[in-house]
Amino acid sequence: FFFFFFFFAVRASDGTSLLCGPPQCEQYAAFQRDPQVSRCVTFNRDGTLFAWCNGQKVSVVKSVDGSVLLALDLPKTALLDFSPLSNILVTWQPYTKGPNCPQGDANLQLWDISSGQLIKSLFQKKVESWCPTWSEDEKICVRSVNNELHFYEDNDFTQIANKLHMQKVSSFTLSPGVQPSKVSIYVPGSKGAPSFVRLYQYPALGGPTAALANKSFFKADKVWMQWNQKASAVLVTASTEVDKSGASYYGEQTLHYLAVNGETALVQLRKSFSPDPRPHKNPQGHILVLAGFGNLHGQMEVWDMKKFKQVSKPQAADSTYFSWCPDGEHVVTATCSPRLRVGNGFKIWHYTGSVLHTWSAAPGTELWEVAWQPFPAGVFPERPVTYQAPPTQLGSTQAPPTQAYRPPALRHLPASASTKLHEDEAPKDLRPGASAEKTMSKTALKNQRKREAKKAAKQETKPEPPSEPAPVTNNQSEPSSGDPETDKKIKNLKKKLKAIEELKEQQESGKVLQKNQLEKIQKEEQLLKELQELQIELP
């Protein structure tokens, strides 16, 4: 019964939509689709409010009935966010300055949602860490300003209540839950000094003994810090862009543990191939998806975390986005621009692998963003894990079975073609249903008869037949026609046929090919004919 008030936001180059679902997704009748190009969209924490900017104004509506709660004349707004209790709307636009205003205008605004009044305008030049961070009860608000953390209390932005000054503070995170709030800060290393992460408890931020825990480490170009729900410890993932040892194409990663009682540790990691090591748990925590997106083929594994049993093994090729639905039963995979500009669209499916809904961007348009409506914890209770996929007319996303291996040199041939490579083997037409006699030119037939007659004459002059020549291996040179230009043509044709075979394999795995790639595949028969005619001339 939650489906009637469960929404899914779609931001595309042809407008912003609010859909009802899952399992099906239909346009929400109470929300009039905005056909203008949208810069950004967002829900508040509990999903009761929805906001977007269409390049003319910022609008905030109630999700339940689509009624407008707030409209602001802010056409350049590029980012939006709500405070945890939805008391404040934060808007950000790119920082600019001109001859009439050399210092530039304040580009970060805090708005009172209930009254629509501007609370505070601030300068925020960089898009990184653009939005202030609140504690869950909004008792504390923090923002980074010139190597300092500025703390505000009770949403009073007329004065700074407290500061934490640390040279080159790069990022920070506030702990979840109620007071007392804790904050973790990251300072990158410089001039041979290590990077470090420290934990503090507000408001004790100064002095040599104020830090609850400290962990220093090398090999960190960037870090990702995550508190546990009890606010008793932090996990820090440190990564480098390049692995100097050459062990990984995706750089090097280390994992560190810091607890508020002062304990720290380096967590040993297994060697990982995936560029994104983060797993995706459903909101209830009893189902886990392990996924390989990015440069990988979109393979996913769905696991029952109570039985440690695999539920399904779906595949969503070319996905750039994955997210669990708050109900813990459905997920969305999407292909969004600008990461990929072809094949834009999304699929909603059940975790057992059944595809329940698909949407593809219209020709000439792009999909930029999709987002589930969030819900407070506990709204959707945990349901028993099922291993039976629900029926659907759209099929399954299960990965196709692995096919038998065929050497690259034979992949352009039909499956029933002979694998013999003896030079005495009669030439064959590779086109289905055609015979060599019908397709060979007069010159080719004449040369073939000469070779057969020459071979027969040799056999008559020798008492014993010659031993069969050994098959050609990769270490032996291929037969030569005696004409360098002909040999070059044969080599180029084989190279093109190999590339076509690779494109066909990508197409079979579900990848959407571009127009020029499809045109290459269509030329396969022509290339095979050209190759055959050239190979007939070989001695």
> Taking the CB of residue 519, how many other CB atoms lie within 10 A of it?
10
Whether residue 193 is contained in a domain is answered as: yes
Whether residue 81 is contained in a domain is answered as: no
Kindly report the CATH number assigned to the domain that includes residue 173: 2.130.10.10
Whether residue 176 is contained in a domain is answered as: yes
Q: Is the peptide bond before 203 cis (omega within 30 degrees of 0)?
A: yes
Q: DSSP labels for 508-530? A: HTTPPPPHHHHHHHHTHHHHHHH
Tokens linked to 73: 């004349």
Distance of CA 162 to the CA centre of its chain: 39
Q: Per-residue b/e over 268-290, b at no fewer than 16 CB within 10 Å?
A: eeeeeeebeeeebebbbebbbbb
Q: How many domains does the chain have?
A: 2
pLDDT of residue 90: 98
Whether residue 462 is contained in a domain is answered as: no
Q: Which of 271, 286, 308 is the last residue of a domain?
A: 271
Q: Burial-class residue 34 by CB neighbours within 10 Å (0-12, 13-18, 19+).
A: middle
Whether residue 451 is contained in a domain is answered as: no
Bridge partners, 10 (sequence order): 17, 370
pLDDT of residue 526: 84
* Of 151, 289, 176, 163, the residue nearest 226 (C-alpha): 176
Question: pLDDT tens per residue, the chain (539 residues)?
Answer: 334 458 999 999 999 999 988 877 889 988 999 999 999 999 999 999 999 999 999 999 999 999 999 999 999 999 999 999 999 999 999 998 877 777 888 999 999 999 999 999 999 998 988 999 999 999 999 999 888 899 999 999 999 999 998 878 889 999 998 889 999 999 998 888 899 999 999 999 987 789 999 999 987 888 999 999 999 999 999 988 776 666 666 678 899 999 999 999 998 876 544 444 456 668 888 999 988 776 667 888 999 999 999 999 988 888 999 999 999 999 999 999 998 888 999 999 899 999 999 999 999 999 999 999 999 988 898 999 999 888 777 766 665 555 555 565 565 666 554 444 444 444 444 444 444 444 456 677 667 777 777 777 666 555 544 444 444 444 445 566 667 778 888 888 888 988 888 888 887 776 777 778 888 888 888 888 888 777 765 55
pLDDT of residue 420: 42
Whether residue 197 is contained in a domain is answered as: yes
Global pTM value:
0.69
Q: Which of 255, 271, 287 is the last residue of a domain?
A: 271
Whether residue 203 is contained in a domain is answered as: yes
Whether residue 476 is contained in a domain is answered as: no
Residue ranges making up the domain that contains 527: 485-499+513-537
Q: Which of 226, 241, 271 is the last residue of a domain?
A: 271
